[in-house]
Every structure is written in C-alpha cells, then in structure tokens.
Amino acid sequence: MPFVTQFKIVIYCASFVVSATGILFTLLNRRTDKLQNKLYLTLLIMVVCNSLSEIIADTATISSGVSHAAAVAVEVGHLSYHLVHSGIAPIFFLYVLSVCGANMSGKRKRYVAMFVPWIIVELFVMLNPVTKWVYYYDRNMEYHRNWALSMVYISSGLYVAMAIFMLMFLWKALNTKRRTALIYFFFIVLSGLCVQLFNYDLRAELLSEAVALLGVMIAIEIEDDRIDAGTGVYNRRALISDMNTFLVSGRQLYLLCVKITNTEIIKHATGSDSTDTLSKLVAEYMKTLVPRYQIYSINPDTFMLTLMENDETKAVWLAGMISERFERPWKIGDNEIPLKVLIMAADVPARIRTVDDALYMADSPVPKKLDKNILTGSDLDYLLRRAAVENAVTRGLDQHNFEVFYQPTYHVATRTLHGAEALIRLRDPELGNLFPDEFIPIAEQIGLIDDVDDYVLREVCKFLESGIPTEMGMECINVNLSMLQCMQPAFAEHIVDIVDKFNVDKHMINFEITESVAAGDYITLSRVVRLMKKQGFKFSMDDYGTGYSNMQSIFRLDFDIVKIDKSILWSAEKGQMGQIILDSSVRMIRQMRRKILVEGVETEHQLEMLKELGVDYAQGYLFSKPISKADFIDMLQKS
Ligand code: C2E
Ligand code: CA
Ligand code: CA
C-alpha cells in the first residue's frame, strides 16, 4: 500500500475516533433534546460518516484496479463524502445561530432562501456520477478535483462568513467561554482547510473539524456549570447568561416566574428542612409541562420558565395549569403538604428589559395585598416601580435626596404646641417626590433602613442642638423606628452613640414603635426600652388599633404615650361601633396611666370629640400637614 494512502487512512481513522468520542459523551450526558444539542450531534455524525466514507474509498482505491466491487466502493465512498460534507458549513451556521439565541421557528421563508447555495451544491454532487464536474477518476482510478468543487468551497465559505458575521453581530449575547469556543472552532477548521487546499495529500480538513468540535463540546455543550445539582434543571447562572443572550439577540419570549410562597410550612409539617426535596418534586412536575432546558431553578422556592413564543394566551394558560396543580398538596415522605404559589408571566422585552429585571422578578418579595396568584401584563408594573424605587433609595443616600419634614402635635385642652413628629421624604431626580409608605418597606427589604433612620435621627439632633425647638416651647420631637432596627442586639448602644455626638437633651427625643413590633418580640423590646429610658429617651406606641395585639405585653412596656391610629378616629365619626372602640380605647389607656395622642385630626368636630374624651394630644391636617424644617420654623414663629 503506498505511503500516502496509508497516511490518509490514519488521518481519517483519527477523525473517526475523535468525532465518535464526541458522540459517545454527548449521548452519555443525555444532552440531545435541545435544538442546539441536536445540531451539534448532527455535526459530529457528519464527521463520523465522512471519516468512514473516506476510509472505505481509500482502502478500496488500492484494489480498485482488480475488482469491480472495489471500484464501486470508491465511487460510493467519495459520493457520500461530498454529499455529507457540503452540509457541514450550513449546519454549523445554524448551530452558531442557536448558540446566539436567534429565533429559528418563525420567518421560515427567509431560512429556506438561506439554504439555496447548499441545495445547488448538493445537486452538483448528486449529478456528478454523470457529469464529473465536481471530481473524476483517471485511468488508474486516481481521484482528481474538478472545476465545480470550487462551488462547494464557495458555498461553505459563504456559510462560514455568515456564521462569523452573526457571531460579530451578537458578540455581546455570548459569554467569554462561548466566544472563545466559536473562535477556536473557526481558527482550527480554517487552518485545516488551508493546509488541505494547498497540499491535497495532507487531508487535514476532516481531522481539524473533529478536533474543533471536541473543543466546542468542552466549552459549550457540557453544561455542568449551568445545571442545578439538586433538581437537574438550569441554575441561576444559566438564566443570567441565557437572558442576556435573548435580550441582545432581540428574542421575544415570555418569562414565567413560579414562586412558592409558603415554604416555611414544610419545616412545620415534616420537622426538617425538606425544601430541596420539594424543589426536586416541583422541577419534575415542570418537566412534564415544558422541556427541561426551559426550566431554571433560581432558589429552592423559585423557578423560572422561558417560553420561546411571545404568546400571552399560551403563557397564561401554562400559568393556569401550574396554579391548578398547586391546588392539590405535594407529597414529601408521608406528609401531604399544601403549597401556595405565585406565578408571574412577563413579556420579554416589553416588561423585562434587562437581566436585572428578570432577577428582580425572581428575588423581590411577594407583594402583601394580592387577590390573585397569577400576575401578568400591567399587574407586573409594581415590579418595575419597585426596582425604580430601590434605585431611588440607594441613590438618595449617596446624593442626599432625603429630607426630614415635621408635623406639629398639640395639647388638646389648650390648643398649644406640644411637639412634632419627624417624617421622612425622598425627592428623587427621576421619580419625583416619594412618600415613606412606599419606600420605607423597600428600604427595609434591601437593608438600607438603618441608614435612612440614622439620617433622620441625626437631622432631628441637629434641629434640637440649634435650640429652636426648646425656644418654641416644644416638649419633644418624635422619631419613627423601623421594626427591623429595634430588634438588633446593639440597637440601644447604636442610638446612644449617634445622639451623644450632639449636644442635646435626650428627654427631647421620643421614639415611636409600632404596635405590631411591640407584640412581636416582647423580651428583646422590653430590654431595649428599659435601657434607653434609663438614658432619658421617651417612647410612644404608634398605630394603636391597627393590628391584633397582645395587650398585656404591650402595656408591660413602659411607653410614655400611646398614639391611637387615625382609622380609629375616623370610624368613630362614622358609626356607633367605631365610637365605642374609640371611647373604650381611651378609657383603657388612661387607666393604664399612659398619655394619649390621636392622629389624623382633620376637622374641628373631631378635635371637639377628643376634648370631650379627655385625650391629651392631637396631630393632624387640622393643625398642619408635615412640612419642611424651614416652613416649620416659619410657622412656629408666626403663631
Ligand atoms: P405614621 O408614623 O403613622 O405617620 C403618620 C402619617 O399620617 C404620616 O404619613 C402623616 O403625614 C399622616 N398624617 C398625619 N396627619 C394626618 C391627617 O390629618 N390626615 C391624613 N390623611 N394623614 C395624616 P407619612 O409621612 O406619609 O408617613 C407614613 C409612614 O411612614 C409613617 O406612618 C411611618 O410609619 C413611616 N415613616 C415616616 N417617616 C419615617 C422615618 O423617618 N423612619 C421610619 N422608619 N418610618 C417612617
Ligand atoms: Ca409615626
Ligand atoms: Ca401613626
């Protein structure tokens, strides 16, 4: 056997082994369901077939002079080689498209047009046994290239160029690993092609394709770092990378966020934290609805599904299916666990414009007041608003956009000034004026409430240090404390630290704690209150009457003032039942020897009513709305 032929056969065997290895591990990994995986597998199979046909053709060439069968084998080998090989570049082009997240389901006509060069080349190859335009054999059955073979190269070059163009166009859609893998592919394949083009005896092309595909397998097809070990579906990292790909490539889709909202029940029911078991169970269920590669496990209680059509009806239908499943309990061990779910179906890119928006949907706390468990369309505006407010709070602390307003409180009997409540405002350059009801809960959730409350306390201390409040006869300024803040272990020390930096009388500061906090953790709170009262601070219970509460605990805490919520006052005006509640609240608080303040006084009639009941202090729009410090000083000086 001539050395050149032996050499060729060895090279083709190598290509065969390398690409067959690729197939083996792709199948072992069972990654063959996604279109991208299918295209990759097709490429490997094509290289395997090509290697085989070349091995057959080259082996047969040696004996083709003697046997007719061998001559046929040579013909068949070369013909099938060309038929398959012309398809590698177009299929690779499709593979690049799918890695870049391009939508290949719609726009069929355009795709068909794209494959015209491939079809023409295949026709040339199929007709070759008759025309001999692509290749022919001489008298010794030696293979020679003919003019039409350049058509094959031109067509392949065209697809490679289109793939490179796509890659450049959607460069940002890919992470570094994927970019590197695709560039590596082009580099190795083009090198192999050039070598073979200039010296036809060095058949480097097929081997370079096999090796390059193996590189692609390592970097793109093996997805261990994208898979969530517990559930076997994609993880958070995969969502970030895929959402980026979809957004950059302008892909339209629906993102379904499935959030289990009562996972704490699992611990309660099973006595152990079986959240992971539950996650697995739910992931398995999801797989019955959509392919596994469209499911992402973000947290043990949060899943995201990518629905690749921008079809709201379908998204809502699927959300309905999932919601229905959650009406039945889930079986963990011997326990039947009822789970609650919230499903959000968001239009990408209409509502979800960035990767952060998507993560936001997954991570943001579930809105409290919800009358439905499937949110879609404008229901989700709160999400975007929330994200914007979150930014405004962060920005506000950096750029000093917060401001403390003051609302005066008055003695009911004499209508003279008693004090003021400090209420925070946020003036954001983008969102305008924001009210605390909106941004305080958000500041709490993103862990910035301490900074906000510290700012208010410092501002109040500055105001007190100026001496104006005492000059004006104010007895105290009230400062609101967030629930989270006063439960922290070093809270009392922290507050004293801040106040001690100013020259102020601690009796002038009155902290307001809401009723719900007081009822929450009596032991911690009583320690805090005791410690701080020893230092001279005063305390008020805020929002009395808004929640259920453990009266006994609350009144064992040493509050100076109880602030009755405005809703109690307003309902007292409306009917007898409300009147009874207000009367008995006032009587009870007085018997416990606490001072009483009623909020939300807007009319003379209300004030008269409070006077008759013997309420100590009043606060409300009748006297003044909360106003800026400058306006507040102005108002005091005028009266
Ligand atoms: P709150 O402590 O119950 O404050 C009283 C709220 O009632 C204030 O709303 C005030 O503007 C409003 N108000 C007072 N009088 C009347 C009235 O006659 N009629 C009506 N309709 N409303 C009246 P604001 O300033 O929007 O504050 C809302 C809540 O935000 C506060 O409720 C408080 O819980 C919280 N907050 C305000 N400032 C701070 C702060 O510096 N730190 C913390 N942690 N929370 C704050
Ligand atoms: Ca308050
Ligand atoms: Ca209040």
The Å distance, Cα 600 to ligand 2 centre, comes to 11
Q: Check pLDDT > 80 for residue 379.
A: yes
CB of residue 543 inside a 6 A radius of ligand 1? yes
Whole-angstrom distance, CA of residue 457 vs CA of residue 463: 10
Atom 38 of ligand 1, nearest CA residue: 423
- Does residue 166 lie within any of the structural domains? yes
Yes or no: say if 525 and 517 are a contact pair by the CB < 8 Å rule.
yes
**Mean pLDDT, residues 203-230:** 91
**Looking at the 3D structure of the chain, how many domains does it have?**
3
Whole-angstrom distance, CA of residue 344 vs CA of residue 391: 22
Q: Identify the CA nearest to 529 among candidates 564, 487, 497, 562.
A: 487
Whole-angstrom distance, CA of residue 601 vs CA of residue 411: 12
Atom 43 of ligand 1, nearest CA residue: 480
Do 146 and 40 reside in the same domain of the chain?
yes
Do 575 and 603 reside in the same domain of the chain?
yes
pLDDT value of position 313:
93
The Å distance, Cα 118 to ligand 2 centre, comes to 74
- Does residue 479 lie within any of the structural domains? yes
Q: Check pLDDT > 80 for residue 186.
A: yes
The Å distance, Cα 561 to ligand 2 centre, comes to 12
Q: What is the CATH number of the domain that holds 323?
A: 3.30.70.270
- Which of the listed residues 389, 410, 421, 423 should we mutate to test ligand 1's pocket, taking the one with most ligand atoms within 8 A of CB? 423
Q: Check pLDDT > 90 for residue 414.
A: yes
Q: pLDDT tens digits for 341-362?
A: 999 999 999 989 889 889 988 9
- Does residue 639 lie within any of the structural domains? no
Q: 408 or 143, which is more confident?
A: 408
Q: Check pLDDT > 80 for residue 403.
A: yes
Q: Identify the CA nearest to 316 among candidates 361, 380, 360.
A: 380
pLDDT value of position 479:
97
Do 210 and 248 reside in the same domain of the chain?
no
Q: Which of 58-72, 100-114, 166-180, 598-612 has the highest mean pLDDT?
A: 598-612
- DSSP labels, 164-210: HHHHHHTGGGS-HHHHHHHHHHHHHHHHHHHHHHH-TTS--HHHHHH
- Does residue 30 lie within any of the structural domains? yes
CB of residue 436 inside a 6 A radius of ligand 1? yes
What letter represents residue 14's amino acid? A
**Mean pLDDT, residues 229-248:** 94
Atom 30 of ligand 1, nearest CA residue: 436
Do 264 and 251 reside in the same domain of the chain?
yes
pLDDT value of position 553:
61
Among candidate residues 364, 387, 410, the one where a domain is terminated: 387
pLDDT value of position 518:
60
**Ligand having the closest approach to the CA of 568:** 3
Do 151 and 114 reside in the same domain of the chain?
yes
DSSP 367: P
Q: What is the CATH number of the domain that holds 11?
A: 1.20.1070.10
**Mean pLDDT, residues 47-59:** 93
- Does residue 395 lie within any of the structural domains? no
Among candidate residues 222, 245, 264, the one where a domain is terminated: 222
Among candidate residues 335, 355, 387, the one where a domain is terminated: 387
Ranking 118-132, 190-204, 409-423 by mean pLDDT, the lowest is 190-204
The Å distance, Cα 49 to ligand 1 centre, comes to 76
Do 272 and 421 reside in the same domain of the chain?
no
**φ and ψ of 253, to 5 deg:** -155, 180
pLDDT value of position 23:
95
Do 255 and 163 reside in the same domain of the chain?
no
Query: Which atom, in ligand 1's list, is nearest to the CA of 563?
Result: 3
Do 564 and 465 reside in the same domain of the chain?
yes
CB of residue 620 inside a 6 A radius of ligand 1? yes
Do 300 and 434 reside in the same domain of the chain?
no
**Mean pLDDT, residues 521-545:** 89
Q: Check pLDDT > 70 for residue 548.
A: no
- Which of the listed residues 444, 480, 602 should we mutate to test ligand 1's pocket, taking the one with most ligand atoms within 8 A of CB? 480
% of the chain exceeding 70 in pLDDT: 97
pLDDT value of position 104:
73
Q: What is the CATH number of the domain that holds 623?
A: 3.20.20.450
CB of residue 603 inside a 6 A radius of ligand 1? no
Atom 19 of ligand 1, nearest CA residue: 600
Atom 25 of ligand 1, nearest CA residue: 423
Confidence of residue 46 (pLDDT cuts 50, 70, 90): very high
pLDDT value of position 610:
97
Do 443 and 382 reside in the same domain of the chain?
no
Do 183 and 249 reside in the same domain of the chain?
no
pLDDT value of position 364:
81
Mean pLDDT of the chain: 90
Q: How are beta strands 341-348 and 374-376 bridged, if at all?
A: parallel
Yes or no: say if 262 and 117 are a contact pair by the CB < 8 Å rule.
no
CB of residue 469 inside a 6 A radius of ligand 1? no
**Ligand having the closest approach to the CA of 404:** 1
In whole angstroms, how large is the CA radius of gyration of the chain?
37
Do 591 and 498 reside in the same domain of the chain?
yes
Whole-angstrom distance, CA of residue 233 vs CA of residue 333: 22
Q: Check pLDDT > 80 for residue 271.
A: no
Q: Check pLDDT > 90 for residue 397.
A: yes
Tally the C-alpha atoms within 13 A of residue 158's C-alpha that lie toward its C-beta. 15
Yes or no: say if 131 and 125 are a contact pair by the CB < 8 Å rule.
no
The Å distance, Cα 74 to ligand 3 centre, comes to 92
Q: Which domain holds residue 207?
A: 3-222
pLDDT value of position 406:
98
The Å distance, Cα 261 to ligand 3 centre, comes to 29
- Does residue 638 lie within any of the structural domains? no
CB of residue 171 inside a 6 A radius of ligand 1? no
- Does residue 531 lie within any of the structural domains? yes
- Does residue 394 lie within any of the structural domains? no
